[in-house]
């Protein structure tokens, strides 16, 4: 998906040189409180650990991990990733720096990720999950054409508990109907 651009966004794989910028943006409880796998307190080393997990995950074929960039300035806005499950299914996650909220970036990037997953990777199902207390994220997924398929319990190693999340799913047929099958 590095070759993909949208109207305002570009994507690239994270590198160690991105660690400072990631730490600066991610060290924000208003972001981490809605994520299930990011440690809190967030340390500079956690940014490097994420970058290494993205590298090894990609190398092992577990998924795709991207920084979302402002296409014009190449500034880092957030991240989006797609992790593979069995049976041609994958799930995604994302977060954006607070300064970038409310401008439609999450929806623009998720649309591109769905096109990549269904169009280029040929997946059959792509799903995401958000806490009920996170209506902005649920809205992002609904705007992109996912539908609520129920509640799931997700472990949150970062807080040592489990939380109920709203699961939203898109089937390949939904994507084809929506996009006309446009290739990624
Ligand atoms: C959730 C998050 C990704 C949204 O990013 P964003 O770029 O602001 O999202 P968008 O601008 O594409 O869309 C947000 C939508 O939610 C709506 N929204 C925002 N706050 C809302 C609220 N409290 N209740 C209902 N809808 C809300 C916006 O109006 C917009 O919908 P609209 O286009 O129909 O008006 C961002 O706030 C974030 O990174 N949060 C912290 C981390 C996180 O929650 N990650 C997702 C975990 S599941």
For the chain, give percent helix, strand, coil, nearest 5.
Answer: 35, 30, 30
Work out the mean pLDDT of the chain and round it to a whole number. Answer: 96
Pocket test for ligand 1, best of 98, 128, 139 (most atoms within 8 A of CB): 139
47-105 residue pLDDT tens: 999 999 999 999 999 999 999 999 999 999 999 999 999 999 999 999 999 999 999 99
The finding on whether 66 has its CB within 6 A of some atom of ligand 1 is no
Ligand 1 centroid to residue 29 C-alpha, Å: 16
Give the whole-angstrom CA distance, residue 32 versus residue 36: 8
pTM above 0.85, yes or no: yes
CB-ligand 1 contact for 99 (6 Å cutoff): no
Atom 3 (ligand 1) nearest CA: 95
For domain 9-179, the CATH architecture is: 3-Layer(aba) Sandwich (3.40)
- HSE toward the beta carbon, residue 142, CA cutoff 13 A: 10
Domain regions of the chain by residue span:
9-179
Give yes or no for residue 96 CB within 6 A of ligand 1. yes
């Amino acid at each position: 998906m590095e070759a993909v651009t949208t109207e305002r966004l570009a994507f690239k794989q994270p590198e160690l040189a991105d660690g400072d910028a990631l730490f600066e943006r991610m060290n924000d409880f208003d972001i981490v409180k809605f994520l299930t796998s990011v440690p809190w307190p967030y340390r500079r080393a956690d940014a490097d650990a994420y970058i290494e997990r993205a590298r090894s995950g990609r190398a092992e074929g577990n998924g795709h991990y991207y920084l979302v960039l402002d296409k014009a300035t190449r500034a880092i806005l957030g991240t989006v990733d797609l992790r593979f499950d069995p049976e041609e299914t994958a799930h995604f996650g994302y977060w954006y720096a607070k300064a970038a909220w409310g401008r439609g970036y999450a929806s623009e990037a998720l649309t591109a990720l769905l096109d990549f997953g269904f169009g280029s990777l040929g997946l059959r199902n792509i799903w995401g999950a958000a806490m009920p207390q996170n209506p902005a994220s649920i809205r992002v997924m609904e705007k992109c054409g996912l539908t609520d398929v129920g509640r799931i319990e997700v472990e949150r190693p970062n807080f040592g508990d489990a939380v109920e999340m709203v699961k939203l799913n898109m089937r390949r047929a939904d994507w084809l109907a929506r996009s006309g099958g446009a290739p990624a």
